[in-house]
């Protein structure tokens, strides 16, 4: 028998936390999940109509273009120009099976084993996992106590091995929205130091209280070094369909197509056809639903305020996450297990996002309606208060 049947790269990769928490929930029926980040609503009607129309032509059951259906790519390009203010000159739009695949595609295209990728911490765990899978080194760069970028820290993290800096705004896991000036500064730093700026904009439609989403690819002189990742999963309520897209410098297109052709060939055609219907409906669909999500967000934040000094809650003006620091909470995974087992509510421990100094929990509220949110956050607040007061 082989002594190490699993590769050294994969042994270095953390176990994905979402399935771990999901298994705990299954063991304790009746729990409310505030763990996985999905939207509470489903797809627009036109997307479902397009899906039902699919399959009549023989060519719809063959492979599609590796880069994605022309009709869908055209709609994505129009959206980027109209809503994000991005010029498509010198750039290519490619359809991916979600933004996670876009991130992997980007790493394969630009990085070699041993290269370093700077991830502002807390980072999105799947991105840290992807960096390790490719034999690269994730370099966490701490953010401030509001989970905003520390520009000096980012610059100090650069070494001769650095290949890219990643930003996620609105942020998963913190809900922070990075100001335009900070994202512009990161983009300029990358340009000056010969690095790529990978900008994950999955939650671009989810902003609250006057916060504004900004796309770094809209900046002048950003074409050659900016890779932008987008997702339809959240805004259009079909996470399981796995459709996203990436905007890349045209010079990277041959490399990215090699990756996608090897790994996937093309995103599932039925999902791409449905996505055309979603894009035809437009982002107004998400904005119509945003009032309910904002109401749920307010329910969560108001309930957390009742914990007082037991819990530090930073600004969370985007996405549908709140990242809290629990004073005296001990080990975050142990605390998360107790909350599921004893109080019937699930959250994600901050250790999955690289937060080892202190007890952090990520609360995801996007999947919940107001009534379920009140019950879920009530259980969480009651559980935290009970556990902390007993110590």
pLDDT in tens, the chain (391 residues): 677 888 888 888 888 888 888 888 888 888 999 988 999 999 999 999 999 998 888 888 888 999 999 999 999 999 999 999 999 999 999 999 999 999 999 999 999 999 999 999 999 999 999 999 999 999 999 999 999 999 999 999 999 999 999 999 999 999 999 999 999 999 999 999 999 999 999 999 999 999 999 999 999 999 999 999 999 999 999 999 999 999 999 999 999 999 999 999 999 999 999 999 999 999 999 999 999 999 999 999 999 999 999 999 988 999 999 999 999 999 999 999 999 999 999 999 999 999 988 999 999 999 999 999 999 999 999 999 999 998 7
Same domain, 136 and 169: yes
Q: Are residues 93 and 220 in the same domain?
A: yes
Residues 336, 216, single domain; the answer is no
- Considering the domain boundaries, does residue 3 fall inside one? no
Range of the domain at 263: 50-282
Which of 238, 254, 282 delimits the end of a domain?
282
Q: How far is CA 285 from the centre of its chain?
A: 20
Give residue for tokens 């605390």. Answer: 335
With respect to residue 19, please indicate whether it lies within any of the assigned structural domains. yes
Q: What per-residue confidence (pLDDT) applies to 154?
A: 98
Q: Which long-range contacts (CB under 8 A, 24 or more apart) does 22-29 make?
A: 24/336, 24/337, 24/340, 24/341, 24/346, 25/340, 25/346, 28/340, 28/341, 28/344
Tell me whether residue 317 is in a domain: yes
Q: How far apart are CA 375 and CA 384, in angstroms?
A: 14
Which conformational region is residue 315 in: left (phi greater than 0), alpha (psi within -120 to 50 degrees), or beta?
A: beta
Q: How far apart are CA 82 and CA 47, in angstroms?
A: 21
Last residue of a domain, one of 250, 265, 282: 282
Nearest to 183 by CA among 90, 93, 120: 120
The residue among 391, 352, 290, 320 whose CA lies nearest residue 122 is 352
State the CATH number of the domain containing residue 167: 3.40.640.10
Same domain as 290, residue 278: no
Q: How many domains does the chain fold into?
A: 2
366, exposed or middle or buried, with CB in 10 Å at 0-12, 13-18, 19+?
Answer: buried
What's the pLDDT score for residue 36? 86
Domain match, 161 and 193 both = yes
Q: Are 321 and 270 contained in the same domain?
A: no
Bridge pairing between strands 116-121 and 137-142:
parallel
Is residue 2 domain-resident?
no
Please report, for the domain that includes residue 35, its CATH number. Answer: 3.90.1150.10
Q: Is the peptide bond between 172 and the residue preceding it cis, with omega within 30 degrees of 0?
A: no
The tokens for 159 are 């070494």
Token pair of 43 as six digits = 């797809």
Q: Is residue 1 part of a domain?
A: no
| Domain termination residue (choose one: 250, 267, 282) | 282
CB atoms within 10 A of CB 188: 15
Same domain (yes/no): 304, 215: no
Write down the pLDDT at residue 95: 98
Question: 32 forms bridges with which residues in the sheet?
Answer: 345
Q: Is residue 295 part of a domain?
A: yes
Distance from C-alpha of 37 to C-alpha of 234, rounded to nearest angstrom: 8
Same-domain pairing of 171 and 289: no
Q: Which of 124, 265, 114 is nearest to 198 (CA)?
A: 124
**Which own/partner pairs from 310-315 qualify as long-range (CB within 8 Å, at least 24 positions apart)?**
310/384, 310/385, 310/388, 311/384, 312/145, 314/145, 314/146, 314/147, 314/174, 314/175, 314/176, 315/146, 315/175, 315/176
Q: Are residues 228 and 298 in the same domain?
A: no
Instruction: Identify whether 267 is part of a domain.
Output: yes
Domain co-membership, 165 together with 64: yes
Q: Select from 274, 228, 204 the least CA-distant residue to 102.
A: 228
Residue 353 included in any domain: yes
* Same domain, yes or no: 308 and 177: no
Domain co-membership, 291 together with 278: no
């Amino acid at each position: 028998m082989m002594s190490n049947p699993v590769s050294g790269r994969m042994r270095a990769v953390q176990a994905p936390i979402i399935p771990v928490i999901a298994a705990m929930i299954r063991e304790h029926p009746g729990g409310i999940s505030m763990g996985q980040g999905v939207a509470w609503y489903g797809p627009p009607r036109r997307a479902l109509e397009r899906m039902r129309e699919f399959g009549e032509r023989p060519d719809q059951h063959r492979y599609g273009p590796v880069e994605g259906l022309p009709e869908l790519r055209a709609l994505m390009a129009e959206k980027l120009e109209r809503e994000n203010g991005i010029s498509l000159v010198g750039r290519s739009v490619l359809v991916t099976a979600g933004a996670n695949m876009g991130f992997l595609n980007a790493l394969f295209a630009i990085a070699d084993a041993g290269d370093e990728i700077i991830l502002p911490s807390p980072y999105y765990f799947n991105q840290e996992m992807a960096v390790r899978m490719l034999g690269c080194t994730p370099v966490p760069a701490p953010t401030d106590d509001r989970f905003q970028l520390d520009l000096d820290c980012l610059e100090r993290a650069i070494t001769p091995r650095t290949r890219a800096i990643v930003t996620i705004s609105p942020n998963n896991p913190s809900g922070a929205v990075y100001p335009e000036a900070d994202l512009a500064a990161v983009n300029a730093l990358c340009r000056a130091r010969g690095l790529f700026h990978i900008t994950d904009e999955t939650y671009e439609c989810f902003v609250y209280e006057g916060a504004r989403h900004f796309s770094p690819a809209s900046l002048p002189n950003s074409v050659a070094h900016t890779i932008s990742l987008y997702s339809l999963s959240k805004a259009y309520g079909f996470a399981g369909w796995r459709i996203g897209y990436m905007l890349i410098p045209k010079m990277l297109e041959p490399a990215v197509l090699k990756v996608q052709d090897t790994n996937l060939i093309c995103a599932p055609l039925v999902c791409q056809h449905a996505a055309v219907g979603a894009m035809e409906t437009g982002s107004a669909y998400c904005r119509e639903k945003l009032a309910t999500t904002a109401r749920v967000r307010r329910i969560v934040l108001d309930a957390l305020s009742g914990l007082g000094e037991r819990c530090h809650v930073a600004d969370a003006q985007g996405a549908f996450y709140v990242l809290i620091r629990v004073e005296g909470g001990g080990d975050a995974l142990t605390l998360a297990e107790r909350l599921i087992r004893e109080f019937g509510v699930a959250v994600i421990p901050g250790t999955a996002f690289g937060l080892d100094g202190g007890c952090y929990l990520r609360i995801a509220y996007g999947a919940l309606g107001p009534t379920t949110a009140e019950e879920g956050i009530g259980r969480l607040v009651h559980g935290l208060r009970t556990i902390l007061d007993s110590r």
